[in-house]
């Protein structure tokens, strides 16, 4: 018995496809069999399984558990909730050796997928390709596993509330905050959490609805923050927080309705953390602002620029012992007194506590940041066979450049005008570009340099494409 996946489904950081077209129950069963086989061969036995609020998630969960059981693994089914609740179940229970969350994250309603943890580490890249090869060859062990339901929601909420330990709760009791769940899987957890937090809380769209009737659950797209912005303005709140569909990415606005982007959130978190853990290594991806890296250095921290991708960042944290890392996409990882995974609900708590500990409002913290002029993340189609080659060509041409060229992930070029980035996406046939300067004129010159390099490789930016 073997199984062949649609080639578009096995991706760098997760497994993801379109229900009824590229992803279905047979795929979920094969994922369960492959994951269980790898885990049992590595000496593991028990897998925590969770799922998001999409209409297809329960069907995939049922098939996944069948696959896990058929190859000898026991399944602990934690039910519907945000991805970080599944991560919590995998990290906090001693008997759990791995975890799988069924989620389509921020993708359209007809998508779904799987995010995985294997013996405490991210499961991605070559691991996912191995699942595909094993399925094609039918290289699965046979066995019999058990299945039990376990409610971890209350324990998960209690664990997040430990983030308030040692904080002056009276300083937080006057805070007024809006939370936009976007009908994602974090709704019930958010309701339970907000009821326990000091301050005044206004909750939007906590009803879980996999059709996302109010707005798309991607807080990195400014248009999706309009409902949050309206509530903050109307009720004169201190700030607002938004989640993606599975609750592992955070977005935020301040009291004036200004977006606090992922790297700016990291500046706030770093300022708070470095007071308590001086000299710490803080990691951010290559798309982050120079202002962040400068801010961390100025505060006595060790800034590290690393590759984009939540699995890659988590791995780098373990390697360096970093207590804090983040990405422009809103994944933020706390390992100082948390588990080092990306949890948007916990990140929301940490925004409250940072404000309280620093004695400044979130709006004040946002206002202190330097005014940089930058582009959004631009993504444009490039043939799969050309995307990495083009980046190598750019690097070769810039080998003797007087500018500072960083090749950590693609090519990031820093000069007197600021910096620009070109990198190949790990998940799509696109190149990603971004630039940042202190002036509009500087930004134009940087964009011209990007266009010049693309032209030299026979490419052009064209229209930006979505995720």
Lowest-confidence region among 148-162, 170-184, 310-324, 376-390: 376-390
* Domains in the chain: boundaries: 15-151, 156-367, 373-456
Fold of 15-151: Alpha-D-Glucose-1,6-Bisphosphate; Chain A, domain 3 (3.40.120)
pLDDT category of residue 402 using cuts at 50, 70 and 90? very high
Exactly one of 105, 280, 311, 457 is catalytic; which is it? 105
Contacts of 389 (CB under 8 A, 6+ apart): none
What's the mean per-residue pLDDT of the chain?
95
Can you tell me the mean pLDDT for 199-225?
95
Q: What is the pLDDT of residue 78?
A: 98
Fold of 373-456: TATA-Binding Protein (3.30.310)
Can you tell me the mean pLDDT for 230-251?
97
Q: What is the pLDDT of residue 466?
A: 53
Place of tokens 């294997």: 118
Tell me the CATH number for domain 156-367.
3.40.120.10
Say whether 373-456 and 15-151 share the same fold: no
pLDDT in tens, 353-392: 999 999 999 999 999 999 999 998 898 889 888 999 999 9
* C-beta of residue 263 within 8 angstroms of C-beta of residue 288: yes
Rounded to a whole number, what is the distance in angstroms from the first to the last CA of the chain? 35
Strands (E), 53-110: 74-80, 98-102
Active site residue 322: no
Burial status of residue 407 (CB atoms within 10 A of its CB: 0-12, 13-18, 19 or more):
middle
Reading the block at residue 27, the tokens are 């795929």
Strands (E), 216-338: 239-243, 250-254, 259-260, 281-285, 302-306, 324-326, 332-334
Q: What is the DSSP letter of 467?
A: -
Q: What is the pLDDT of residue 464?
A: 58
Partners of 404 in the beta sheet? 414
Q: pTM here?
A: 0.95
């Amino acid at each position: 018995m073997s199984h062949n996946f649609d080639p578009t489904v096995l991706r760098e950081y997760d497994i993801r496809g379109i229900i009824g077209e590229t992803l279905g129950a047979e795929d979920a069963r094969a994922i369960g069999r492959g994951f269980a086989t790898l885990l049992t061969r590595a000496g593991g036995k028990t897998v925590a399984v969770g799922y998001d609020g999409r209409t297809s998630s329960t069907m995939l969960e049922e098939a996944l558990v069948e696959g896990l059981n058929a190859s000898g693994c026991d399944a602990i089914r934690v039910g519907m909730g945000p991805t970080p609740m599944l991560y919590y179940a995998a990290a906090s229970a001693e008997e759990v050796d791995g975890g799988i969350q069924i989620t389509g994250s921020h993708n359209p309603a007809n998508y779904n997928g799987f995010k995985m943890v294997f013996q405490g580490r991210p499961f991605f890249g070559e691991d996912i390709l191995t699942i595909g090869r094993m399925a094609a060859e039918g290289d699965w062990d046979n066995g019999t596993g058990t299945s039990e339901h376990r409610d971890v929601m209350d324990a998960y909420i209690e664990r997040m509330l430990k983030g308030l330990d040692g904080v002056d709760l009276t300083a937080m009791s006057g805070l007024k905050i809006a939370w936009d769940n976007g009908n994602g899987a974090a709704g019930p957890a958010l309701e339970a959490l907000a009821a326990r937090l000091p301050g005044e809380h206004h909750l939007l769209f906590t009803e879980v609805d996999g059709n996302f009737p109010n707005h798309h659950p991607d807080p990195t797209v400014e248009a999706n923050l309009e409902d949050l912005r309206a509530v903050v303005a109307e009720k004169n709140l201190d700030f607002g927080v938004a989640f993606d569909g599975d609750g592992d990415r955070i977005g935020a606005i301040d009291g004036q309705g200004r977006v606090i982007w992922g790297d700016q959130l990291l500046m706030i978190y770093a300022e708070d953390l470095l007071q308590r853990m001086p000299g710490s290594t803080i990691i951010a991806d290559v798309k982050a602002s120079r202002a962040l890296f400068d801010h961390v250095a100025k505060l006595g921290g060790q800034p590290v620029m690393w590759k984009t991708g939540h699995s890659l960042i988590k791995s780098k944290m373990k390697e360096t012992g970093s207590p804090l890392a983040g990405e422009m996409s809103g994944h933020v990882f706390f390992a100082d007194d948390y588990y080092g995974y990306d949890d948007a609900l916990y990140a929301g708590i940490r925004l409250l506590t940072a404000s309280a500990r620093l004695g400044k409002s979130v709006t004040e913290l946002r206002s202190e940041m330097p005014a940089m002029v930058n582009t959004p993340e631009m993504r444009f189609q490039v043939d799969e066979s050309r995307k990495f080659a083009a980046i190598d060509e750019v690097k070769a041409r810039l080998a003797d450049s007087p500018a500072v060229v960083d090749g950590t992930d693609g090519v990031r070029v820093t000069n007197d005008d600021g910096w620009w980035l070109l990198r190949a996406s790990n998940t799509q046939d696109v190149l990603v570009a971004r630039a940042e300067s202190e002036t509009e004129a500087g930004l134009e010159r940087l964009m011209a340099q990007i266009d010049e390099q693309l032209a030299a490789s026979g490419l052009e930016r064209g229209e930006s494409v979505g995720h």
